[in-house]
Structure 1
Amino acid sequence: MLERPSPNREPRPDGAAIDILVLHYTGMRTVEEALVRMCDPASKVSAHYCIDETGTITRLVPEDQCAWHAGQSWWRGYQNVNARSIGIELANPGHEFGYMPFPAIQMTALILLSSAVTRRHNIPRRNVVGHSDIAPSRKQDPGELFDWKRLAAAGIGLWPRSTNEGDVEDVHMMMETYGYQVHEEGAIAAFQRHYRPGRIDGVPDEETAQLLAGLLEIAD
């Protein structure tokens, strides 16, 4: 693991539990551009870790301090997600600069790092989220090409159990129960980007309801 300390950090509030893991993509042309930006005091952004396309991990902020990665966000009633989360950036050009699949070696490194982080802090599996899950009106990352199912198979995050249960009229209620801020624009599309990446239309349809019901059956 490489070390590249970022000044963009602050102490965690007294008593704040670390119980959320947020995954991002850098959304920049190169990983070096992203690292420079996350170490620039003027940018006011950072993350705890960054993983490049070859699987090399760089630590920027110690886990016992806040990194500035979540911004205005919400998850399960928590508005200051930075205060209680670990942020991991994955080098990827993102939707603006030529979004592409995440290399297998990068995903393997992410699984190893995330496994250690979630065990160290006893992070619930339902609290392993993407930036778009906690800020759906602003963010799309890590995006529809990210392999959430593979992560869940490794014990990181959740993947819905197959079920025929779930009513369309209950979609918003189930989303709120799971953790989303449902009245925020783009919340349903964010859920679909995570759990139904083949069709992201923001429509609360039967399949979306069944996916939510399947998640709630196994949510910790």
Structure 2
Amino acid sequence: MKRAFTVAATILACTLTACTTTQIDRGTYLADTQHHAKNADSRIRFLVMHYTEIDEARSIEVLTGDQVSVHYIVPDAPRVEHGEPVVYQLVPEDKRAWHAGVSSWQGATELNASSIGIENVNLGPIGEQGGEKKWQPYPPAQIDALIRLSRDIVARHHIPPTRVVGHSDIAPQRKIDPGPLFPWRALYDAGVGAWPDADAVAAHLAGRDPNAPSDVRALQEKLKRYGYDVATDGVLDDKTRRVFSAFQMHFRPSNYAGDADAESDAIAQALLDKYIDN
């Protein structure tokens, strides 16, 4: 009774004097929040993009079930309310969602603990055409909603461009989402994520045929410095090809065969110049 009276008196006093109490009653103690440490930042360090491979209704069902979870779902046809697109938030940003799995980026592992995951309703590969995968496109309304959401997240958590990544970037041995049609360039143009400067790519190509073979070890080393978990042994085996393919789907989606070629080498160096070595 005495404690209830004290809290009530504090609230009344603040009401009369227009002050704001800094104490939070947590049931068995009071937390005073008037002092703020300067040396603190968000525990969210990465933003990871996915596609669902299933439709909207099924995506919600699966991602609210017992096996996997994600912070946000962006529908392929978001409804609009009050002139703004609606996305689904399934997990609070300060909670861990189980979306990244076994993964690595820039030397960090256990990315579920330090990332926000966005699932985009998209079927991914929808067949083959001319012996190559055919992919479902991302509609303009979905891209608009994704840009709005992503721009807000990176601004609030101060996520740098090189830490906005795809599931295939952080887990190239087992994942291919969000695929080669994902709008990485549109996100970059809106201020989200990384992209190489065309002039820098051309300068590093230095007149070489973009499809000309390049040194495997050199490309491995560049991608490792950028963030990928890749060997640097100079061997173009299946594991390295999957890493090269993930990189190409992100930054050169017109050809993601996983070869070590001059254009991939030039793009990698342009990214290092812009984001890592400056």
Task: Give ranges in structure 2 of 5+ residues lacking alignment.
Answer: 1-40, 79-85, 128-133, 206-213, 232-238
With 171-180 and 154-163 compared, the bigger mean Cα shift is at 154-163
Instruction: List, as ranges, runs of 4+ consecutive aligned residues in structure 1 with deviation greater than 4 Å.
Output: none
Matches within 5 A, 1:34-183: 34-41=59-66, 44-55=67-78, 56-95=86-125, 99-162=135-198, 163=200, 164-165=203-204, 168=215, 169-183=217-231
Q: What is the TM-score when the length of structure 2 is the normalising length? A: 0.70
Q: Which sits farther off after the overlay, 188-197 or 157-166?
A: 157-166
Give the count of matched residue pairs. Answer: 203
Identity of aligned residues (%): 40
Cα distance in 2 for residues equivalent to 1:112 and 1:200:
28
Q: In structure 2, the residue corresponding to 1:23 is in which secondary structure?
A: strand
Higher relative contact order (CA 8 A, sep 6+): 1
Q: 1:16 to 1:80 in 2, by over 3 A?
A: farther
Q: Does 1:201 align with 2:257?
A: yes
Q: Give the Å deviation of 1:99.
A: 3.3
CA distance in 1, matches of 2:255, 2:56: 29
CA contact (8 A) 1:27 1:92 kept: yes
> Tell me, which stretches of 5 or more residues in structure 1 are unaligned?
1-14
Quote the residue 1:9 is aligned against. Answer: none
Q: Structure 1: how far apart are the matches of 2:251 and 2:104?
A: 18
Instruction: Provide the rounded CA distance (Å) in 2 between the counterparts of 1:126 and 1:160.
Output: 11
State TM-score, norm by structure 1.
Answer: 0.87
Superposed CA RMSD: 1.8
**Cα deviations by residue, 1:27-52 (Å, 9 ceiling, x for unpaired):** 11x111011011111xx211100010
Structure with bigger gyration radius: 2
Q: Quote the offset at 1:16 in angstroms.
A: 7.8
Residues 16, 84 of structure 1: 8 Å contact kept: no
